[in-house]
């Protein structure tokens, strides 16, 4: 999983202004505008929305190609884009908020890595600071038990996007038939037990609130679970 091939087509495939507005509202619910560390920022759509809403955004992503795609977009001066692995997150000083959206944490391969992520976030947050992220619900595994296939054109480029689940994993394959030849990417995500994730957050010193699909309280059937952890004083 590198996003090197996908970066050029990412927004055309998944850009969703309504969802971006919902993530902005979700962030505002837990922390007022101020300094914020964003992990797995992707093409920067949410980063830019946060900055325009008054946040100072340290926007990071593992993929240099995605950071390059984000940097060329018009954006406020209150954003800094940089390459960083979420498991090696670092800041110059403690922060009030850390966010990681768009099921990016599902790219971690094990609960041990999720625990590492949560512990590092706790270490970087000020007392009373918030950690916000979302993950796939377990129902997504059933949704993709039968292969999903999407085919179409992105400009002049034919593409195919397939999604298939197996046990606790979701496998995505992207293919783009470009003038330079076939470009492909394979992504693997792991779906985690939400009760186990909540336990890891509580063990790291967070008070935890979970919502389903932005608005439904608690753990319910749906597409995404939203985890809000406030670091206890």
| CATH number of 214's domain | 3.40.50.150
Residue 65: other Cβ atoms inside 10 A: 18
- Indicate whether 2 pLDDT > 70: no
Number of compact structural domains in the chain: 2
Confidence of residue 233 (pLDDT cuts 50, 70, 90): confident
Confidence at 12, pLDDT banded by 50, 70, 90: confident
Share of the chain above pLDDT 70, in %: 99
Condensed to tens digits (0 to 9), the pLDDT of residues 199-221 reads: 999 999 999 999 999 999 999 99
Asked if 98 and 180 touch (Cβ cutoff 8 Å), the reply is: no
Helical spans, DSSP H, in the chain: 10-14, 17-30, 45-52, 64-71, 111-124, 139-143, 194-203
Helix (H/G/I), strand (E/B), else coil: 77: coil
Residues 31 and 85 in one domain: yes
d(CA 205, CA 208): 9
Residue 95: alpha-carbon gap to chain centroid: 19
Q: Domain of 54?
A: 6-137+193-231
Same domain, 13 and 115: yes
Residues 98 and 176 in one domain: no
pLDDT on residue 13: 87
Residue 1 forms part of a structural domain: no
Whether 1 has a pLDDT exceeding 60, the answer reads no
Name the token pair of 161. 């996007």
CA distances from residue 202 to 115, 136, 152 in whole angstroms, order as listed: 11, 20, 44
Residues 84 and 45 in one domain: yes
Which stretch of DSSP H or E encloses residue 173? Answer: strand 169-178
- Tokens matching residue 140: 């997504």
Does residue 103 form part of some domain? yes
Are 119 and 185 contained in the same domain?
Answer: no
Helix then strand then coil, % of the chain, to nearest 5 = 30, 40, 30
Pairing of strands 181-190, 216-217: unpaired
Q: Which residues does residue 151 pair with via DSSP β-bridges, in sequence order?
A: 160
User: With pLDDT > 90 as the criterion, what percentage of the chain qualifies?
Assistant: 92
Ramachandran angles phi, psi of 75, nearest 5°: -150, 155
The closest alpha carbon to 55, from 85, 83, 75, belongs to 75
Q: Rounded distance, CA 66 to CA 24, Å?
A: 20
Q: What pLDDT, on a 0 to 100 scale, did the predictor assign at position 117?
A: 99
């Amino acid at each position: 999983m590198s996003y090197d091939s996908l970066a050029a087509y990412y927004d055309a495939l998944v850009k969703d202004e309504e969802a971006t507005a919902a993530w902005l509202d979700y962030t505002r619910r837990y922390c007022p505008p101020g300094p914020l560390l964003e992990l797995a920022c992707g093409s920067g759509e949410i980063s830019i929305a946060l900055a325009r809403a008054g946040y100072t955004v340290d926007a990071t992503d593992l993929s240099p190609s995605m950071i390059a795609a984000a940097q060329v977009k018009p954006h406020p001066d209150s954003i800094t884009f940089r390459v960083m692995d979420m498991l090696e997150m670092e800041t110059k000083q403690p922060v009030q908020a850390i966010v990681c959206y768009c099921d990016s944490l599902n790219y971690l391969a094990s609960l041990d890595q999720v625990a590492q992520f949560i512990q590092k976030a706790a270490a970087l947050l000020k007392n009373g600071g918030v950690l916000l992220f979302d993950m796939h619900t377990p129902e997504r595994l059933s949704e993709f038990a039968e292969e999903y296939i999407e085919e179409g054109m992105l400009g002049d480029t034919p593409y195919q996007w397939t999604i298939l689940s197996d046990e606790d994993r979701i496998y995505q394959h992207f293919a783009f038939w470009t003038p330079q030849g076939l470009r492909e990417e394979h992504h693997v995500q792991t779906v985690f037990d939400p009760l186990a994730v909540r336990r890891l957050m509580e063990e790291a010193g967070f008070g935890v609130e979970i919502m389903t699909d932005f608005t439904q309280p608690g753990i319910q059937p749906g597409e995404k679970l939203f985890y809000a952890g406030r670091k206890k004083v």
